[in-house]
Amino acid sequence: MPVAELIPLGTASAIPTRERHLSAFALRRDGRLLLFDCGEGTQYRLRDAGLSRAKLDAIFLTHFHGDHLYGLFGLLSTLALLERTAPLTIVSPTGLCEMLRALPGLAPDAHPFELRFVELNEGFGHAVVYETDAYTVEARPLDHRVFAAGYRYQEKARPGKIDGEGARAAGIREGWQYETLRRGEPVTLADGRVVRPEGLVGPARPGASFAYVLDTRPCRGGEKLAAGVDLLVHEATFTEAHRDRAYETGHSTAQQAATVARKAAAKRLLLTHFSSRYGELAPLVEEARGVFPHAEAAAELRAYTLTEAVSAAPSMPA
Protein backbone atom coordinates (compact mmCIF):
# COMPACT_ATOMS: atom_id res chain seq x y z
CA MET A 1 0.00 0.00 0.00
CA PRO A 2 1.57 3.36 -1.01
CA VAL A 3 2.43 5.65 1.89
CA ALA A 4 1.42 9.32 1.62
CA GLU A 5 3.81 11.96 2.94
CA LEU A 6 3.22 15.68 3.40
CA ILE A 7 6.18 18.02 2.90
CA PRO A 8 5.88 21.67 4.02
CA LEU A 9 7.64 23.88 1.47
CA GLY A 10 6.73 27.22 3.03
CA THR A 11 5.23 28.14 6.41
CA ALA A 12 5.39 31.95 6.50
CA SER A 13 2.44 34.32 6.32
CA ALA A 14 2.57 37.30 3.97
CA ILE A 15 6.31 38.03 4.35
CA PRO A 16 9.09 35.45 3.97
CA THR A 17 11.84 35.37 6.60
CA ARG A 18 15.35 33.93 6.63
CA GLU A 19 13.99 30.65 7.97
CA ARG A 20 10.49 30.51 6.51
CA HIS A 21 9.20 30.62 2.94
CA LEU A 22 5.76 31.45 1.56
CA SER A 23 2.85 29.03 1.73
CA ALA A 24 3.07 25.73 -0.11
CA PHE A 25 2.71 22.08 0.91
CA ALA A 26 3.46 19.07 -1.29
CA LEU A 27 1.80 15.68 -0.90
CA ARG A 28 3.85 12.76 -2.22
CA ARG A 29 2.16 9.41 -2.85
CA ASP A 30 3.31 6.50 -5.00
CA GLY A 31 5.83 8.69 -6.82
CA ARG A 32 3.28 11.39 -7.73
CA LEU A 33 2.75 14.88 -6.29
CA LEU A 34 -0.12 17.15 -5.32
CA LEU A 35 0.61 20.77 -4.43
CA PHE A 36 -1.44 22.84 -1.98
CA ASP A 37 -0.90 26.57 -2.51
CA CYS A 38 1.99 28.00 -4.49
CA GLY A 39 3.59 31.01 -2.85
CA GLU A 40 6.50 32.86 -4.42
CA GLY A 41 9.54 30.60 -4.81
CA THR A 42 7.65 27.31 -4.62
CA GLN A 43 9.48 25.81 -7.60
CA TYR A 44 12.78 26.38 -5.78
CA ARG A 45 11.41 24.70 -2.66
CA LEU A 46 10.31 21.70 -4.71
CA ARG A 47 13.91 21.44 -5.90
CA ASP A 48 15.27 21.85 -2.36
CA ALA A 49 12.98 19.04 -1.18
CA GLY A 50 14.17 16.74 -3.95
CA LEU A 51 10.70 16.63 -5.51
CA SER A 52 10.35 16.31 -9.28
CA ARG A 53 8.17 18.94 -10.98
CA ALA A 54 7.47 16.35 -13.67
CA LYS A 55 5.56 14.25 -11.11
CA LEU A 56 3.07 17.02 -10.33
CA ASP A 57 -0.55 16.04 -11.11
CA ALA A 58 -2.64 18.81 -9.53
CA ILE A 59 -2.40 22.14 -7.72
CA PHE A 60 -4.97 23.32 -5.16
CA LEU A 61 -5.09 27.06 -4.41
CA THR A 62 -6.93 28.35 -1.36
CA HIS A 63 -7.32 31.98 -2.50
CA PHE A 64 -5.77 34.77 -4.54
CA HIS A 65 -3.57 36.55 -2.00
CA GLY A 66 -0.03 36.74 -3.34
CA ASP A 67 1.68 34.71 -0.61
CA HIS A 68 -0.38 31.70 -1.74
CA LEU A 69 -0.39 32.35 -5.49
CA TYR A 70 2.55 34.22 -6.98
CA GLY A 71 4.77 31.13 -7.32
CA LEU A 72 2.30 29.58 -9.76
CA PHE A 73 3.27 31.78 -12.68
CA GLY A 74 6.96 30.91 -12.57
CA LEU A 75 6.20 27.24 -12.02
CA LEU A 76 3.91 27.06 -15.07
CA SER A 77 6.52 28.86 -17.17
CA THR A 78 9.20 26.37 -16.10
CA LEU A 79 6.96 23.38 -16.86
CA ALA A 80 6.40 24.78 -20.34
CA LEU A 81 10.13 25.30 -20.92
CA LEU A 82 10.71 21.69 -19.83
CA GLU A 83 8.23 20.68 -22.56
CA ARG A 84 5.81 18.97 -20.24
CA THR A 85 3.05 17.17 -22.13
CA ALA A 86 0.99 15.59 -19.33
CA PRO A 87 -2.18 17.50 -18.34
CA LEU A 88 -2.11 19.53 -15.13
CA THR A 89 -5.22 20.17 -13.02
CA ILE A 90 -5.50 23.45 -11.10
CA VAL A 91 -8.28 23.88 -8.53
CA SER A 92 -8.93 27.43 -7.37
CA PRO A 93 -11.53 30.13 -6.85
CA THR A 94 -13.10 31.35 -10.09
CA GLY A 95 -10.97 33.76 -12.10
CA LEU A 96 -7.61 32.05 -12.47
CA CYS A 97 -8.02 31.30 -16.16
CA GLU A 98 -8.63 34.98 -16.94
CA MET A 99 -5.70 35.95 -14.73
CA LEU A 100 -3.34 33.72 -16.72
CA ARG A 101 -4.63 35.10 -20.02
CA ALA A 102 -3.60 38.58 -18.87
CA LEU A 103 0.04 37.57 -18.34
CA PRO A 104 2.52 37.32 -21.24
CA GLY A 105 3.18 33.72 -22.26
CA LEU A 106 0.88 32.20 -19.65
CA ALA A 107 -2.43 31.96 -21.52
CA PRO A 108 -3.75 28.41 -21.08
CA ASP A 109 -3.55 27.66 -24.80
CA ALA A 110 0.08 28.86 -24.96
CA HIS A 111 1.40 25.87 -23.01
CA PRO A 112 2.61 22.59 -24.55
CA PHE A 113 0.43 20.77 -22.00
CA GLU A 114 -3.25 20.94 -21.15
CA LEU A 115 -4.36 23.00 -18.17
CA ARG A 116 -7.53 21.62 -16.61
CA PHE A 117 -9.28 24.22 -14.47
CA VAL A 118 -11.65 23.32 -11.65
CA GLU A 119 -13.08 26.60 -10.41
CA LEU A 120 -14.99 27.20 -7.19
CA ASN A 121 -17.68 29.84 -7.14
CA GLU A 122 -18.19 32.00 -4.10
CA GLY A 123 -21.16 30.65 -2.18
CA PHE A 124 -20.47 26.97 -2.89
CA GLY A 125 -20.94 24.60 0.03
CA HIS A 126 -19.00 21.44 -0.76
CA ALA A 127 -17.42 19.85 -3.82
CA VAL A 128 -15.27 16.86 -4.75
CA VAL A 129 -12.71 18.64 -6.91
CA TYR A 130 -10.27 15.86 -7.80
CA GLU A 131 -10.49 12.07 -7.80
CA THR A 132 -8.39 9.06 -8.74
CA ASP A 133 -8.87 5.35 -8.18
CA ALA A 134 -6.99 5.73 -4.90
CA TYR A 135 -8.20 8.97 -3.33
CA THR A 136 -10.41 12.05 -3.52
CA VAL A 137 -9.84 15.73 -2.74
CA GLU A 138 -12.82 17.76 -1.56
CA ALA A 139 -13.22 21.47 -0.94
CA ARG A 140 -15.26 23.60 1.46
CA PRO A 141 -15.46 27.38 1.96
CA LEU A 142 -13.43 29.07 4.69
CA ASP A 143 -13.80 32.46 6.42
CA HIS A 144 -11.13 34.88 5.21
CA ARG A 145 -11.14 38.51 4.06
CA VAL A 146 -11.56 37.27 0.49
CA PHE A 147 -13.23 34.15 -0.86
CA ALA A 148 -11.12 31.15 0.20
CA ALA A 149 -11.45 27.39 0.18
CA GLY A 150 -9.86 24.62 2.22
CA TYR A 151 -9.20 21.06 1.08
CA ARG A 152 -9.32 17.50 2.38
CA TYR A 153 -7.33 14.64 0.90
CA GLN A 154 -8.95 11.27 1.61
CA GLU A 155 -7.67 7.88 0.49
CA LYS A 156 -10.38 5.40 -0.37
CA ALA A 157 -11.14 2.60 2.06
CA ARG A 158 -9.02 -0.53 1.82
CA PRO A 159 -10.51 -4.02 1.90
CA GLY A 160 -10.74 -5.62 5.30
CA LYS A 161 -8.23 -8.18 6.51
CA ILE A 162 -9.00 -11.77 5.67
CA ASP A 163 -8.97 -14.60 8.20
CA GLY A 164 -6.42 -16.81 6.46
CA GLU A 165 -6.89 -19.82 8.71
CA GLY A 166 -10.66 -19.65 8.44
CA ALA A 167 -10.50 -19.23 4.66
CA ARG A 168 -8.24 -22.28 4.27
CA ALA A 169 -10.55 -24.32 6.48
CA ALA A 170 -13.42 -23.30 4.18
CA GLY A 171 -11.52 -24.59 1.13
CA ILE A 172 -9.93 -21.38 -0.19
CA ARG A 173 -6.55 -22.11 -1.79
CA GLU A 174 -5.95 -19.90 -4.83
CA GLY A 175 -4.85 -16.28 -4.81
CA TRP A 176 -7.76 -15.18 -6.98
CA GLN A 177 -10.14 -16.74 -4.47
CA TYR A 178 -8.69 -14.63 -1.63
CA GLU A 179 -8.94 -11.50 -3.76
CA THR A 180 -12.56 -12.28 -4.62
CA LEU A 181 -13.42 -12.59 -0.93
CA ARG A 182 -11.59 -9.32 -0.16
CA ARG A 183 -13.82 -7.60 -2.70
CA GLY A 184 -16.82 -8.83 -0.73
CA GLU A 185 -17.84 -11.40 -3.34
CA PRO A 186 -18.58 -15.12 -2.78
CA VAL A 187 -16.34 -17.86 -4.21
CA THR A 188 -17.74 -21.05 -5.74
CA LEU A 189 -15.41 -24.00 -5.18
CA ALA A 190 -14.85 -26.87 -7.62
CA ASP A 191 -17.16 -29.14 -5.60
CA GLY A 192 -19.98 -26.58 -5.86
CA ARG A 193 -19.74 -25.22 -2.35
CA VAL A 194 -20.11 -21.45 -2.02
CA VAL A 195 -17.79 -19.64 0.39
CA ARG A 196 -19.11 -16.22 1.40
CA PRO A 197 -16.97 -13.35 2.75
CA GLU A 198 -19.14 -12.84 5.83
CA GLY A 199 -17.18 -13.99 8.87
CA LEU A 200 -13.96 -14.35 6.88
CA VAL A 201 -13.26 -10.74 5.85
CA GLY A 202 -13.09 -7.93 8.39
CA PRO A 203 -14.58 -4.45 7.94
CA ALA A 204 -13.10 -2.07 5.38
CA ARG A 205 -10.16 -0.05 6.72
CA PRO A 206 -10.29 3.74 6.28
CA GLY A 207 -7.58 5.31 4.14
CA ALA A 208 -5.16 8.02 5.22
CA SER A 209 -6.40 11.62 5.28
CA PHE A 210 -5.30 15.18 5.83
CA ALA A 211 -6.97 18.59 5.80
CA TYR A 212 -5.45 21.86 4.58
CA VAL A 213 -7.10 24.84 6.27
CA LEU A 214 -5.49 28.19 5.31
CA ASP A 215 -6.22 31.26 5.50
CA THR A 216 -9.22 31.52 7.76
CA ARG A 217 -10.84 32.44 11.01
CA PRO A 218 -12.09 29.35 12.86
CA CYS A 219 -15.16 28.20 10.95
CA ARG A 220 -17.54 25.33 10.31
CA GLY A 221 -16.00 24.59 6.91
CA GLY A 222 -12.61 24.04 8.50
CA GLU A 223 -14.07 21.76 11.15
CA LYS A 224 -15.86 19.64 8.55
CA LEU A 225 -12.72 19.28 6.46
CA ALA A 226 -10.76 18.27 9.56
CA ALA A 227 -13.28 15.75 10.92
CA GLY A 228 -11.35 12.68 12.05
CA VAL A 229 -8.32 13.32 9.82
CA ASP A 230 -4.96 11.73 10.46
CA LEU A 231 -3.24 15.10 10.05
CA LEU A 232 -4.71 18.61 10.15
CA VAL A 233 -2.66 21.47 8.70
CA HIS A 234 -4.17 24.64 10.12
CA GLU A 235 -2.96 28.21 10.01
CA ALA A 236 -1.78 29.73 13.28
CA THR A 237 -0.75 33.21 12.26
CA PHE A 238 -0.85 34.73 15.76
CA THR A 239 -0.88 33.93 19.47
CA GLU A 240 -3.85 34.82 21.66
CA ALA A 241 -2.13 38.09 22.53
CA HIS A 242 -3.08 39.23 19.02
CA ARG A 243 -6.50 37.60 18.83
CA ASP A 244 -8.19 40.84 17.73
CA ARG A 245 -5.64 41.30 14.97
CA ALA A 246 -6.27 37.71 13.85
CA TYR A 247 -10.00 38.37 13.53
CA GLU A 248 -9.51 41.67 11.70
CA THR A 249 -7.23 40.05 9.10
CA GLY A 250 -9.22 36.84 8.69
CA HIS A 251 -6.77 34.56 10.47
CA SER A 252 -6.56 32.22 13.47
CA THR A 253 -4.48 32.04 16.62
CA ALA A 254 -2.61 28.89 17.61
CA GLN A 255 -5.16 28.29 20.37
CA GLN A 256 -8.02 28.59 17.89
CA ALA A 257 -6.33 26.15 15.49
CA ALA A 258 -5.98 23.68 18.34
CA THR A 259 -9.64 24.12 19.25
CA VAL A 260 -10.61 23.23 15.67
CA ALA A 261 -8.43 20.11 15.90
CA ARG A 262 -10.02 19.09 19.19
CA LYS A 263 -13.59 19.66 18.00
CA ALA A 264 -12.92 17.78 14.77
CA ALA A 265 -11.28 14.85 16.59
CA ALA A 266 -8.20 15.10 14.36
CA LYS A 267 -5.33 12.83 15.34
CA ARG A 268 -2.47 15.32 14.84
CA LEU A 269 -2.13 19.05 14.19
CA LEU A 270 0.54 20.86 12.18
CA LEU A 271 0.59 24.60 12.74
CA THR A 272 1.67 26.84 9.86
CA HIS A 273 1.37 30.33 8.30
CA PHE A 274 3.33 32.08 11.04
CA SER A 275 3.53 35.86 11.28
CA SER A 276 7.05 37.24 10.78
CA ARG A 277 6.79 38.81 14.26
CA TYR A 278 7.58 35.37 15.73
CA GLY A 279 11.25 34.53 15.47
CA GLU A 280 10.72 31.52 17.74
CA LEU A 281 7.67 29.28 17.37
CA ALA A 282 7.66 27.77 20.86
CA PRO A 283 5.01 30.23 22.18
CA LEU A 284 2.58 29.21 19.43
CA VAL A 285 3.18 25.50 19.98
CA GLU A 286 2.84 25.83 23.75
CA GLU A 287 -0.42 27.73 23.32
CA ALA A 288 -1.82 25.08 20.96
CA ARG A 289 -0.81 22.18 23.22
CA GLY A 290 -2.74 23.71 26.07
CA VAL A 291 -5.85 22.75 24.08
CA PHE A 292 -4.66 19.89 21.84
CA PRO A 293 -1.56 18.00 23.01
CA HIS A 294 -0.62 16.50 19.65
CA ALA A 295 0.25 19.80 18.00
CA GLU A 296 3.56 20.90 16.53
CA ALA A 297 4.94 23.58 14.24
CA ALA A 298 5.37 22.43 10.65
CA ALA A 299 9.08 22.13 9.82
CA GLU A 300 9.91 23.03 6.24
CA LEU A 301 11.17 20.20 4.02
CA ARG A 302 10.46 17.54 6.65
CA ALA A 303 8.33 14.64 5.38
CA TYR A 304 5.32 13.85 7.59
CA THR A 305 3.73 10.45 7.07
CA LEU A 306 -0.03 10.91 7.29
CA THR A 307 -0.58 7.76 9.32
CA GLU A 308 2.36 8.27 11.69
CA ALA A 309 1.62 7.04 15.19
CA VAL A 310 0.67 9.73 17.71
CA SER A 311 3.52 10.23 20.17
CA ALA A 312 2.85 10.54 23.89
CA ALA A 313 4.91 13.71 24.24
CA PRO A 314 5.58 15.66 21.04
CA SER A 315 8.88 17.55 21.06
CA MET A 316 8.97 21.33 21.28
CA PRO A 317 10.54 23.33 18.44
CA ALA A 318 14.13 24.40 18.90
Cα-trace Rg, the chain: 22
**19, burial (CB in 10 Å: exposed 0-12, middle 13-18, buried 19+):** exposed
Phi/psi at 62 (nearest 5 deg)?
-80, -40
In whole angstroms, what is the distance from residue 263 CA to residue 64 CA? Answer: 28
Q: How far apart are the first and last CA of the chain?
A: 34
In whole angstroms, what is the distance from residue 144 CA to residue 263 CA? Answer: 20
**Do 8 and 296 touch, CB atoms closer than 8 A?**
no
187 forms bridges with which residues in the sheet? 195
In whole angstroms, what is the distance from residue 7 CA to residue 27 CA? Answer: 6
**67, burial (CB in 10 Å: exposed 0-12, middle 13-18, buried 19+):** buried
In whole angstroms, what is the distance from residue 110 CA to residue 101 CA? Answer: 9
Catalytic residue numbers read 67
